[in-house]
């Protein structure tokens, strides 16, 4: 009789741990953004991604690129854009070089709300990471996040 390979179980446990880590952090940030600014994490992420566009070559994102950046389907992203547009936080306009393309920009009101919400999001992220670092199972993931984009 052979011993079962422990690798699949370990892989599944690793995935559950990663999912738990993500859920805890997202819930913490969600609560902070909702209570202080009336924004969901997805709404904040969308405003943040769109605020980083520019007018140079490749500066405006197509809806698929936006969807990928906020980890939503294209249809969910379109619905989210519509909700934020209805709130006056985004505006859409036709691409000047391709009349089939539609661009989305953050409005002045959206930029103001984003600027107000950014410190809340950043503080909530740091709080969530600090809390997760106390859990020995999550501490390596916290370290990975902190070093992933650290500058030299």
**Rounded average pLDDT over 123-138:** 96
CATH tag, 39-115 = 1.10.10.10
Q: CB within 8 A of 119, min separation 6: which ones?
A: none
Model confidence at 63, pLDDT cuts 50, 70, 90, reads confident
Q: Which two tokens stand for residue 96?
A: 């000047």
Beta-strand (E) ranges in 48-147? 90-94, 102-106
Which segment of 35-39, 53-57, 89-93, 147-151 scores lowest on mean pLDDT? Answer: 53-57
Determine what percent of the chain is predicted with pLDDT higher than 70.
Answer: 97
pLDDT band at 56 (very low <50, low <70, confident <90, very high): confident
At residue 9, the pLDDT reads 84
Please determine, for residue 152, whether its predicted confidence score (pLDDT) is greater than 70: no
- State the Cα–Cα distance between residues 127 and 25, nearest whole angstrom: 9
pTM recorded for the entire structure? 0.86
Q: Inform me whether the pLDDT recorded for 128 exceeds 90.
A: yes
């Amino acid at each position: 009789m052979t011993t079962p390979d422990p690798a699949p179980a370990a892989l599944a446990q690793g995935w559950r741990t990663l999912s738990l880590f993500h859920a805890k952090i997202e819930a913490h940030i969600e609560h902070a953004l909702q209570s202080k600014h009336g924004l969901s994490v997805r709404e904040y992420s969308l405003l943040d991604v769109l605020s980083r566009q520019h007018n140079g070559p490749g500066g405006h994102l197509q809806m698929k690129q936006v969807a990928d950046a906020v980890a939503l389907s294209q249809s969910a992203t379109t619905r989210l854009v519509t909700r934020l547009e209805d709130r006056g936080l985004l505006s859409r306009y036709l691409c000047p070089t391709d009349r089939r393309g539609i661009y989305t920009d953050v409005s002045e009101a959206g930029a103001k709300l984003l600027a107000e919400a950014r410190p809340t999001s950043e503080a909530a992220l740091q709080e969530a990471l600090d809390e997760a670092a106390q859990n020995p199972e999550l501490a390596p993931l916290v370290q990975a996040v902190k070093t992933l984009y650290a500058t030299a």
